[in-house]
């Protein structure tokens, strides 16, 4: 739901369809990835919580600032104040990009 204000200053609630696209920056470990790649793939992936936390932060916004945007999971988290992305890693301290 988005809040809108008209010229008179009156606020009203308007229901607007919101479209979001959230992609992962690094592979997220799933049962399928684990089956296909084993431990080596797990070491190179993140926990599924990275996507769920990013989705939660997007869907609980009270405005429509992110509507229609292409978003990356770790960018959503860092812009929302998450500073420790190691909590989503199977190998703490891993550098994802340099």
- How many domains does the chain contain in total? 1
Does residue 3 belong to any structural domain of this protein?
A: no
Q: What's the per-residue H, E or C state across the chain?
A: CEEEECCCCCEEEECCCCCCEEECCCCECCHHHHHHHCHHHHHCCECCHHHHHHHHHHHCCCCCCCCCCEEEHHHHHHHCCCCCHHHHECCCCCCCCC
Q: Is the pLDDT assigned to residue 81 strictly greater than 90?
A: yes
Does residue 95 belong to any structural domain of this protein?
A: no
Which domain does 27 fall in, by range? Answer: 13-88
Q: Is the pLDDT assigned to residue 21 strictly greater than 70?
A: yes
Does residue 32 belong to any structural domain of this protein?
A: yes
At 38-56, the pLDDT tens digits run: 777 777 888 889 989 988 8
Does residue 49 belong to any structural domain of this protein?
A: yes
Rounded Cα distance, 8 and 11, in Å:
9
Per the prediction, the chain carries an average pLDDT of: 75
């Amino acid at each position: 739901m988005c809040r809108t204000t008209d010229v008179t200053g009156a606020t009203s609630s308007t229901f607007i369809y919101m479209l979001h696209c959230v992609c992962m920056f690094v592979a997220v470990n799933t049962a399928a990835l684990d089956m296909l790649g084993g431990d080596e793939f797990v070491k190179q992936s993140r926990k599924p919580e990275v996507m769920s936390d990013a989705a939660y932060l997007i869907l609980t916004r009270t405005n429509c600032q992110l509507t229609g945007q292409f978003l990356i999971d770790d960018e959503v988290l860092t812009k929302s104040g998450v500073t420790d992305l190691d909590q989503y890693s199977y190998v703490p301290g891993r550098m994802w990009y340099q």
